[in-house]
Structure 1
Amino acid sequence: MEASNDPPGPAKAEPEESSAKPIHVSYYMNNGVLSVRETDLKDAYELKEEIRRGDFGPVFKVVQRTTGQAAEAKFKRLPRFVRRQEALREIEMLFLFAPHPNLLLLHDAYQMLDSKEIVLITEPLQGCSLLEWLVSGKERVTERICAGYLRQLCSALKHLHAASIMHLDLKPESLQLACSGELKLTGFAVARRCGEEPSLLRGDAEFSAPEQLGSEAATINTDMWPVGLLAIVVLSGVSPFWASTKEEMVQKVISATWVFPDSFSSISKGAKDFISKLVKKSAETRMSAALCLDHAWLDGTAAEKPLSMATLKEFWGRYKSEKPASYVHRFPKSEKAKQSEDEKK
């Protein structure tokens, strides 16, 4: 995802390269501003074995030298400036909110200026997304199981929204699993504080809300649209707004016209009611994360009948193999921004 014309923030946190020798820096929040200091990752952490490969580089097991606490280090090789800006945005957002059981916990963050690598030190994860786990056959999947994971997602969003942070990029790979089996919401490169006024965001359309593809400003309820879509996907394996072309997909989302798939004939009324109150064109009329947690379908009494994972396996195979259909969202200028431009003339 790319953003431009953001308020001062992580874009100014990236230090200049040293002409004398390569240096390492760590990031921290100083009075709400992402700041840097010279330090070396290996002074604080002992690198162990590589445990998997991430999208931008290896992931290592690490141990904190003073406490012996295990963690994982995600090395991101990011030669492009815009990619580093995205990573810094994610670091800033992860530092902003207080810890929560269903939000990825960031311990530290470093940058190797000689190699353009950014390293995130986080709590250990399984390296497995929620959907990968559901289709693995290792768990008997029922409505109640799915409702439990969605409850954890809504709990994470309630915590974010209470801190005036919008995620804005909820999709299947955002939902990872901790070693304990708990859901962890990840992927904060596009997240924004409420009230920030970026002029442009890029992302993928399939799980984006209508206002993200149109000309309306995003709100915390923008995050609730994809919660409904993800509920449909995990329960049926059907993505209601998917299309073979980006243009058709965007038009389907903007129209917000959809029906439950045929496979929902065996899904409970409670699940349908939950989803219907989220996948609504008007963001103002969607349930908030707090209201979702009060919904009867998430109270632990959902149906225990096993769900077929065959269609979900097909969806996951297609989703992983396809290049996401990107969208470009140009935010409308606020009166404050227009006034500032007029003053400069």
Structure 2
Amino acid sequence: MPIIIKKKLENRTVQEDEEVTLEVEIRKPSLEVTWKKDHVALQPGGNMEVHVEGTKHSLSFKKISSTDQGHYSCETMDDKTRAKITVENLEHVFSRGLRDTRAEEKGVAVLECETRRPSLRTTWLKGVAVLKPGGKYHMRQQERVLSLTINHLEKSDGDVYTCDVGTARSSAALTIQEQTKESRKAGCLEQCHKMLSSHQSETEDSTLGVNPIPTQGLITSTFYSRSRERSVHTHIPLVPVDLPVVANPGSDRSHQTYSFLSEINRGRFSVVWQCQDDWSKQLFAAKFTPYAQEQQQRALGEYQLLKKLSHIHIVQLRSAFITPCYLVLIQELCAGRELLHNLAERDLYAEVHVSELLQQILSAVEYLHHRLIVHLDLKSENMLVTDHNLLKIVDLSSAQTFTPGQTLPVDHIQEMKAPEVLEKQGVGPETDIWAIGVLVFIMLSGDDPFQSELHWESRSNIKKGRIQFSRCYPGLSEGSVSFIKRTLNHKTWGRPSAAECLQLPWVKGWHGSSRHSDSIVCFSTDKLQAYLQEQETKREKVRTKMDMPLSN
């Protein structure tokens, strides 16, 4: 009796990554059935399976791809049926589009959408104008999620924004609202007011009134301290600067004044205060660095570098002043927590959160290295992370320019303990990569990579590259372990550049499964919190003790 197919195949149009099954039914049970694609017999295995259940025969794809597109046939000795499978590429199909967003002036807006597959080409538009990354715009792709972050919002930023991935677009409106008094306090002042001494009050603010550093000559600079009812009047030599001064329509803005509200932080050599421009009422961070003869080169070095830089992940310089005792850098105010403290305040975090922060660090460092600048002090204390997960490098006091192929002397390196520093071989861009490796290890362990109870043994571990992986959290992916090994190579020539790091799949967020589980491994913050408490005790000992004339 002939083997006749009574249920034929039908043409199918499917979407990539779908589970797809082709099924036929014959008149009587038989094993003499062959599946073919484009006239070539198929061999089951991998993504493709063949099933037989009585008179029903099926060909299944667990996750169909564009390579599976074609003409399929099911044949017996007496009959056959044929159909075409068309696979639609979902690379340019949105699974979650942009949504209309409202945000306040001077704030941050994040527009986000998601595609069914990682996009190979993404263009962001404001109205019909194509946006370019840099300045206030930060564009990011985390696997299938695409985002546009707009910083320092102004009324003019209100518009329709579009994410274009080639053959599909998603648009949404951004509406900018006037900033309320309450939100200004919540966004910028809350953290600083907590740090006010019990004897300070808002009526006892101090004001520093000085002129921006001009291009030449001398200028009279007057320091006012209302709380102490005194003023110091002195002539100060000035250094060149090409920073633009924001003009005040109808008034003379050559003389700028700032009210200093509260101390934010202290480092080894400087003190940072929150201040407010008396004209615009905009909040800034003022960094005071002693300007004594032996410290002038260090203070001016940071100023000379910052005035040439413009990057979303590096603090922006607004203006600069010289008083009789200090160089004052007026910078954008980054309301956030230090990098490791930001992680420690979460209940849990995973490798993907580490790589999100790492991408931003590497982006800034690659920018610096491309401009022949080496940072030489990349650590958690010099990085702030906002509530929107935007990271900023906020200190460049140790940074230096370099010549490719030549090393810099290690004489003025304070805390960096890279192998080349201990061996006094000279430092360069590779030293920054080593510091990043140390930071990533701490984020993935809550511990130091070369720690030992014996000081000499710790130094030996660093020099020989003996990384203490036993201190890491369990379940780390191979990508993270590989990154740590490469960046903490005790040979400078064995470390990748910042640009090369940015191309690593693990850094991009394409995490494979961990060694121990197919699920995402999350880390408790208990160990990291204990580590930070121990580090805080050490930091307190080296903070500058200089008295500020702004304090009561």
Same fold (TM over 0.5): yes
Query: What is the match of residue 72 of structure 1?
Result: 285
Q: Quote the offset at 1:223 in angstroms.
A: 0.8
Query: What is the match of residue 411 of structure 2?
Result: 200
| CA displacement, residues 224-246 of structure 1 (integer Å, 9 cap, x when unaligned) | 01111111101110101234565
Sequence identity percentage: 23
Q: Quote the offset at 1:290 in angstroms.
A: 0.5
Cα distance change on mapping 1:103 and 1:220 into 2, 3 Å? same
Query: What is the match of residue 93 of structure 1?
Result: 305
Query: What is the match of residue 322 of structure 1?
Result: 538
Does residue 1:289 correspond to 2:502, yes or no? no
Partner Cα distance (2:259, 2:539) in 1: 33
- Equivalent position to 2:339, from 130, 150, 162: 130
Query: What is the match of residue 398 of structure 2?
Result: 190
- Equivalent position to 2:509, from 300, 304, 316: 300
Cα distance change on mapping 1:16 and 1:248 into 2, 3 Å? farther
Partner Cα distance (1:265, 1:199) in 2: 36
Q: Quote the offset at 1:199 in angstroms.
A: 6.6
RMSD: 3.3
Partner Cα distance (1:69, 1:222) in 2: 37
Opposite residue 60 of structure 1, the aligned amino acid is Q
Query: What is the match of residue 525 of structure 2?
Result: 309
SS at match of 1:73: strand
SS at match of 1:270: helix
Partner Cα distance (2:401, 2:278) in 1: 31
Query: What is the match of residue 318 of structure 2?
Result: 107
Opposite residue 305 of structure 2, the aligned amino acid is M
Partner Cα distance (1:322, 1:200) in 2: 22
List aligned pairs for 1:1-345, cutoff 5 A.
21-23=233-235, 28-29=240-241, 43-47=255-259, 49-50=261-262, 52-55=264-267, 56-63=270-277, 65=279, 69-76=282-289, 78=290, 81-97=293-309, 99-113=310-324, 116-126=325-335, 128-137=337-346, 140-178=348-386, 180-195=388-403, 197-198=408-409, 200-205=411-416, 208-244=417-453, 246-302=455-511, 304-322=520-538
Which structure is higher in strand share?
2
Query: What is the match of residue 334 of structure 1?
Result: none
Cα distance change on mapping 1:262 and 1:190 into 2, 3 Å? closer
Partner Cα distance (2:476, 2:521) in 1: 9
Opposite residue 156 of structure 1, the aligned amino acid is A
SS at match of 1:315: helix
Opposite residue 61 of structure 1, the aligned amino acid is C
Cα distance change on mapping 1:45 and 1:292 into 2, 3 Å? farther
Using CA pairs under 8 Å that are at least 6 residues apart, name the structure with larger relative contact order, 1 or 2.
1
Q: Which has the higher mean CA deviation after the structures are superposed, 261-270 or 299-308?
A: 299-308
Q: Which has the higher mean CA deviation after the structures are superposed, 243-252 or 127-136?
A: 243-252
Opposite residue 242 of structure 1, the aligned amino acid is Q
Partner Cα distance (1:23, 1:318) in 2: 45
Opposite residue 307 of structure 1, the aligned amino acid is F
Partner Cα distance (2:503, 2:301) in 1: 32
Q: Quote the offset at 1:81 in angstroms.
A: 4.0
> What TM-score comes out, normalization by structure 2 length?
0.48
| Structure 1 unaligned blocks of 5 or more | 1-12, 31-40, 327-345
Partner Cα distance (2:381, 2:272) in 1: 17
| CA displacement, residues 302-326 of structure 1 (integer Å, 9 cap, x when unaligned) | 3743211111112111112125999
The answer to whether the Cα contact below 8 Å between 1:61 and 1:71 also exists between their aligned partners in 2 is yes
Q: Quote the offset at 1:182 in angstroms.
A: 1.1
Opposite residue 272 of structure 1, the aligned amino acid is V
Opposite residue 44 of structure 1, the aligned amino acid is Q
Cα distance change on mapping 1:199 and 1:301 into 2, 3 Å? closer
Query: What is the match of residue 16 of structure 2?
Result: none
Cα distance change on mapping 1:25 and 1:131 into 2, 3 Å? farther
The answer to whether the Cα contact below 8 Å between 2:219 and 2:236 also exists between their aligned partners in 1 is no
Partner Cα distance (1:186, 1:47) in 2: 21
The answer to whether the Cα contact below 8 Å between 1:26 and 1:109 also exists between their aligned partners in 2 is no
Cα distance change on mapping 1:172 and 1:219 into 2, 3 Å? same
The answer to whether the Cα contact below 8 Å between 2:265 and 2:272 also exists between their aligned partners in 1 is yes
Greater Rg over alpha carbons, structure: 2
Opposite residue 88 of structure 1, the aligned amino acid is L
Partner Cα distance (1:313, 1:267) in 2: 20
| Structure 2 unaligned blocks of 5 or more | 1-215, 222-231, 243-252, 514-519, 543-552
Cα distance change on mapping 1:264 and 1:74 into 2, 3 Å? same
Partner Cα distance (2:415, 2:524) in 1: 27
Opposite residue 108 of structure 1, the aligned amino acid is S
The answer to whether the Cα contact below 8 Å between 1:128 and 1:177 also exists between their aligned partners in 2 is yes
Q: Quote the offset at 1:122 in angstroms.
A: 0.7
| CA displacement, residues 90-131 of structure 1 (integer Å, 9 cap, x when unaligned) | 21221233x111111111121211xx1221111111252011
Q: Quote the offset at 1:64 in angstroms.
A: 7.0
Equivalent residue pairs, number = 295
> What TM-score comes out, normalization by structure 1 length?
0.74
